[in-house]
């Protein structure tokens, strides 16, 4: 197979081509930041129903999934009867995505919890989770949660926020190709109501913000951070 490759050029020409493309890449980064700023100004939807999930230690509520933190990101993992290879295999795309999730300590340090939820029983979840070496908390949907939040089947990622009175609000949702870029702490924080919580961000007045770099740490050196 003959590949039609770009030309081979001198170092000076290569640097010039890179500088030209870098202008567009920086514009793309600024546009991504502006989009995240719009997400932080999205209206919020109150969650009025009570939802229940099964976990390793029994039944838990949606509020429990926050694990005491201010924000919650919930990925609906397609793992249930009907998935190819069930019950020994989950959705290949969902599994691919789970493989690229960074260490959860960095999200937790920004008062944010990430969990997976599926229709699969806990026994199947725990077996598959152990096989794949994933550390992400994973719960079983027992009611209409997935249907109510845009993920009646397949996959999708919802972001929630709780206030000081433990009221829960849905703040954002992505699915389809919107999920494919997720995995880093930055990608999850950029879709949340509070964002990265750094001073350079364009956020509404009163949002929590700290200096960039200052809160970063080794994943085993963070203090326990919750909003309580």
Looking at the predicted structure, is the pLDDT value of residue 225 above 60?
no
Q: Which of 118, 116, 124, 142 lies closest to 58, judged by CA?
A: 142
Domain for residue 11, yes or no?
Answer: no
Domain assignment of residue 89, given as a range: 40-190
C-alpha pair distances (Å), 7 with each of 4, 13, 17, 69, 133: 9, 11, 12, 52, 43
Residue 62: is its pLDDT beyond 90?
yes
> Which CA distances in Å does 25 have to 20, 21, 32, 78, 203?
9, 6, 11, 34, 23
In-domain check, residue 119: yes
Q: Among 13-17, 72-76, 82-86, 131-135, where is mean pLDDT lowest? A: 82-86
Determine, yes or no, domain membership for 120: yes
pLDDT band at 154 (very low <50, low <70, confident <90, very high): confident
**190-209 as b/e, with b when 16 or more CB fall inside 10 Å?**
bbbbbbbbbeebebeeeeee
- pTM of the complete model: 0.94
CB 161 within 8 A of CB 70: yes
Look at residue 196 and tell me if it is in a domain: no
In-domain check, residue 55: yes
- Kindly state whether residue 97 falls inside one of the protein's structural domains: yes
Is the residue at 202 inside a domain?
no
pLDDT digits (tens, 9 = 90+) for 64-120: 999 999 999 999 999 999 999 999 999 999 999 999 999 999 999 999 999 999 999
Q: Is the model's pLDDT at 228 over the cut of 80?
A: no
Asked if residue 152 is part of any domain, the answer here is yes
For the chain, give the mean pLDDT: 95
Using CA atoms, how far apart are residues 120 and 128, in angstroms rounded to an integer? 10
If one counts the domains in the chain, the total is: 1
What CATH number did the domain enclosing 66 receive?
Answer: 3.40.30.10
Confidence of residue 42 (pLDDT cuts 50, 70, 90): very high
Instruction: Judge whether 80 and 119 are in contact, CB under 8 Å.
Output: yes
């Amino acid at each position: 197979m003959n590949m039609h490759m770009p030309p081979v050029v001198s170092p000076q020409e290569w640097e010039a081509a890179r500088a030209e493309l870098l202008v567009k890449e920086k514009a793309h980064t600024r546009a991504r930041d502006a989009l995240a700023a719009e997400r932080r100004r999205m209206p919020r939807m109150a969650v009025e129903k009570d939802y229940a999930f099964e976990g390793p230690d029994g039944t838990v509520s949606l509020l429990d999934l926050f694990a005491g933190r201010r924000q919650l990101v919930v990925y609906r993992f397609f793992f249930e009867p009907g998935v190819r290879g069930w019950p020994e295999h989950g959705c290949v795309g969902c599994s691919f995505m789970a493989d690229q999730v960074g260490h959860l300590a960095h999200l937790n340090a920004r008062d944010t919890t990430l969990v997976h939820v599926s229709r699969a029983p806990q026994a199947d979840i725990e077996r598959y989770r152990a096989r794949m070496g994933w550390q992400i908390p994973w719960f079983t949907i027992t009611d209409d949660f997935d249907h109510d939040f845009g993920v009646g089947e397949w996959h999708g990622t919802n972001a929630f926020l709780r206030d000081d009175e433990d009221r829960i609000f849905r703040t954002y949702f992505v699915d389809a190709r919107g999920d494919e870029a997720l995995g880093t702490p930055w990608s999850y924080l950029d879709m949340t109501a509070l964002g990265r919580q750094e001073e350079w961000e364009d956020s509404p007045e009163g949002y929590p913000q700290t200096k960039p770099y200052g809160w970063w740490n080794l994943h085993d050196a963070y203090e326990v951070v919750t909003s309580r």
